[in-house]
Each structure stands twice: as C-alpha cells, then as structure tokens.
Amino acid sequence: MQRRTFLGAGLAGAALPLAGKAALGQDSAGEATTPFRLKYAPHLGMFRNHAGDDPVAQLEFMAAEGFRAFEDNQMSRRSVEEQERIGAALERLGLQMGVFVCNWGTAFGRPTFAQGKLEDVENFVKELEGCVEVAKRVNATWMTCVLGDLHPRLRQGHQDANAIEMLRRGAEVLEPHGLVMVLEPLNFRDHPGMFLERSDHAYMLCKAVDSPAVKILFDIYHQAISEGNLIPNIDACWDEIGYFQTGDNPGRNEPTTGDVNYLNVFGHIHRRGFEGVLGMEHGNSKPGEEGERALIEAYRAVDAF
C-alpha cells in the first residue's frame, strides 16, 4: 500500500458535539476503556464505519477506544479552517498530534536531496516555513520528511553530502520552533529507487546534520522488508529515533496479520522508555465495522506486553 493512499476522510460537515462516551472514557459499546500503554496513532478513515465521515467524530471514537495520539499525512494539504478545527478537537480530547508530511513537493519522483540543486533547497525551505504554521495550528512536533530518489549518475558520497547540506538548511527553519523532521527510509519493494532505504543510512545522516530538528522515523513495516533484524536495528539507532510507524508484513495491515512479532517489538520499545508516538500507517485487514473492531483488538493484544 503506497503512502499516497492514506488520504483520510473528507472534512465536510458541521462539527459534532463531543460524545459522552468519549468524555467518560467509554468505548462505542459503553464499556469503560483503559488507555493503551503506548501512543498508537490512527489516521482518518481507519474507523469511518463506526464513526462516520466527520473527522471530529472519528477523533472522538479514537479517544473513546483508548488511543492517545493521532497522525495525518495530509494535514499540510488541508485548509486552515480544517487544521484549526482538528487542532481544537485534539486539544479537547487529549490526543497528541503525530506526524504529517512536510515536503510533498520534494519527496517523490526526483533526486531532490541527492543532486545538490539550489532550486530544490529553496523549495524545501519554503515548504518547511509553511509547515511551521501548520504545526502551530495542530500542536504538532514531528513531520515526516521523504528524501526523494537516488541520483543515477552520482556516487553515493556526493549524494549523501548534498542531502546533509539540504537537511541542515531545513533544520535552521525548524529548530528555533522546537519542531522535528523525521527522516523515513522506504522499502525497496514498494518504493524502488528511493534515496533513503535503510535505518543505518538515516542514522548516518542524522549524526552528520547534528541537530535536534532532524531524527529518524523508524517505520517497522518498511524496515521489516528492507533489513529485518528489527530489535537490534532499533537499538543501534535508538538515540536518533524520534518516531515509529507500524504495519505488519505482508499486507501492510494491523499487527497480528503478518510475520512481525509486534508483542515483543512493542514491549522492547516500552522497556526502553519510549514516550513518543507510534503512527498506525497501515490499512485494515477486514472491511466494515468488523474489520475496525478486529484492528482495535489486535492492538489490545500486542499492547499486553
């Protein structure tokens, strides 16, 4: 499943009043809920069958089911009014905002970070300046940064040097605001030809840039495909990881539907003291309300470490 397919629901319609169940910490069946131990973050559309198309109603459903965070790749593409409405709902519900994509214009289709062109740097800086305002509206800290394609005619060292310089320019924009772009390695099967594929490469870039505004987005789904050896690689990159995303392989659906031992992986992340967000950037393995309920139950199972 491509990142571009996680578009979320439309934001039309008037705001719905806060459901009493969400306010009381009850799930959709009226039963008391316990918050998840880790901050798993659903996205819009994941619970549309239970909550309807209105985004605030979906956020209320997430909170009522015990989720503590939310992410939205498309946030920077939404209107200011939509951003403000979602931001107000997140604050009211006590949900932490996770990532949104900060560089759609420089993320895909060209070797934007690898080729060292001033035009790419200027476009990237402009995108980040706009994202500072988006982050303020939704109280976000992290934003996903995708580093474009490999350059077919440059040695790796030159590409790395170009990317490091471009990231340093971006860090200058974000660092004064306490914001963080998290670099996401993407797997070779779903995204062939990308500049950034492995966690060790992302680790090197973060060390070279040497800024609190540049960290790693360790997407467990992508890294299960690209490199495996998940827990040792998480440990090796730990001091530069700012954010996790989840999804089982094969299928890119909820945990327990593939071959990743998420009970062990989440338990390890928790024992290491991670207090950030784990974005649920995946699909539902089954359709309808049944599939949504199965997804919630799967997260309850792997959160029981």
Does 253 map to a domain? yes
Whether residue 214 lies inside any domain: the answer is yes
Report if residue 278 sits inside a domain: yes
The mean per-residue pLDDT over the stretch 221-239 comes to 98
- Whether 161 is in a domain gets the answer yes
Single out the residue of 264, 239, 128, 107 nearest to residue 186, CA to CA.
107
The pTM for the full model equals 0.90
Residue 12 has pLDDT above 90, yes or no: no
**CA atoms of 186 and 8, how far apart (whole Å):** 21
The length of the chain in residues reads 305
CATH code of the domain containing 144:
3.20.20.150
Q: Count CB neighbours of 290 within 10 A.
A: 11
In a domain, 90, yes or no: yes
Q: What is the pLDDT of residue 218?
A: 99
35 inside domain = no
Per residue in 93-112, pLDDT (tens digit) is 999 999 999 999 999 999 99
Mean pLDDT, rounded, of the chain: 92
Q: What is the mean pLDDT of residues 136-164?
A: 98
What is the pLDDT, as a whole number, of residue 130?
98
- Residue 164 within any structural domain of the chain: yes
pLDDT of 67:
98
Q: Which of 156, 181, 161, 159 is nearest to 171 (CA)?
A: 181
Cα dihedral across residues 233, 236, 240, 242: positive or negative: positive
Domain of 79? 40-302
Domain count, the chain: 1
Residue 34 belongs to a domain: no
Q: What is the pLDDT of residues 59-77, one digit of tens each?
A: 999 999 999 999 999 999 9
pLDDT, position 27 = 59
pLDDT over 90 at 160, yes or no: yes
For 182-214, write each residue's pLDDT tens digit: 999 999 999 999 999 999 999 999 999 999 999
